[in-house]
Amino acid sequence: MAIFEGAGVALVTPFLPDGEVNYKKLEELLEEQIAGGTDAIISCGTTGESSTMTHEEHIQVVKFTCEVVNKRIPVIAGTGSNSTREAVHLSEAAEKAGADGLLLVTPYYNKATQAGLFAHYSAVADGVGIPILLYHIPGRTGVTMLPETMVKLCREVPNIVGIKEASANFSAIAQIMNLADGCVDLYSGNDDQIVPILSLGGKGVISVLSNIAPRQTHDICEAYMAGDVKRSCELQLQAIPLVNALFCEVNPIPVKAALDLMGKNPGPLRMPLTEMEPRNKERLAKAMREYGIL
């Protein structure tokens, strides 16, 4: 059984003006997501600025998220690292904190071989008992994991159950699903490709768009899964201008700006990320107005 089906939100981490985590605001955002129909919370992923968190902050945010959500929907913790020992430590801590699953990005910078990737993920999986999703985003990590490696991991390691695919390489993604023969739970890592991924047998999306449009993103998936492919496609295409605006600068700069425009006050970004360029913020605001959320 999949960890979740539908739209999981890659949630931002709100910060106070001094840069500390704003736990009051985080609770508000979590409650809004659940009320908005989001199917899962992804805590401390790329959108959550996990790369600028200390280990202590990272674990505390996951723990707090699990406590607030309280099993109403699954919580998946981002616990990947380019250090296998660090990934094991964060993964064990997230499991102890109550996470329902883990999201592990391919190790960045080291440029591991396919054998190294298999060994890395196997070592992390061996340290925990909850299900794991691989996170394949070569544009950020500089590492491409081959379809054969992903499928081998899902087939041979019991608690590695699926993949968040953000490579946009549909030939490779189709090859994954061809080789998988049902052993891979596939999720889109790109909001403009939800329906194409679902058409290849995907379970849903891990979404940035859901931060500002949880119900609409959920509905794209729900319509498809209910057999209304035409409606799902319509909803997907309606979202494209907004999705493009949300990625006109590096994530999560635009989505935090969008939340700010909505009056949700997610607080500052942590450096080296900086505030959105004014002309891009205008483009974002226009797309949000046209989409009907501003």
Residue pair 244/192 in contact (Cβ under 8 Å)? The answer is yes
Task: Return d(Cα 204, Cα 201) in angstroms, integer.
Answer: 9
Q: How far is CA 38 from the centre of its chain?
A: 12
Task: Return d(Cα 69, Cα 277) in angstroms, integer.
Answer: 34
**Which of 25, 63, 152, 164 is the catalytic position?**
164
**Which of 135, 187, 224, 291 is the catalytic position?**
135
- Catalytic annotation present for 256: no
Judged on CB neighbours under 10 Å (0-12, 13-18, 19+), 27 is middle
The pair of three-digit structure tokens given for residue 184, joined into one six-digit string: 């891979």
Give the largest CA-CA distance in the chain: 50
The pair of three-digit structure tokens given for residue 202, joined into one six-digit string: 């995907």
Of 72, 48, 73, 52, which is closest to residue 62 (Cα–Cα)?
48
65 to 15, 201, 211: CA distances (angstroms): 15, 30, 15
Task: Tell me 262's DSSP state.
Answer: T
- Catalytic annotation present for 135: yes
183 to 19, 29, 94, 249: CA distances (angstroms): 42, 33, 24, 35
| Active-site residue list | 135, 164
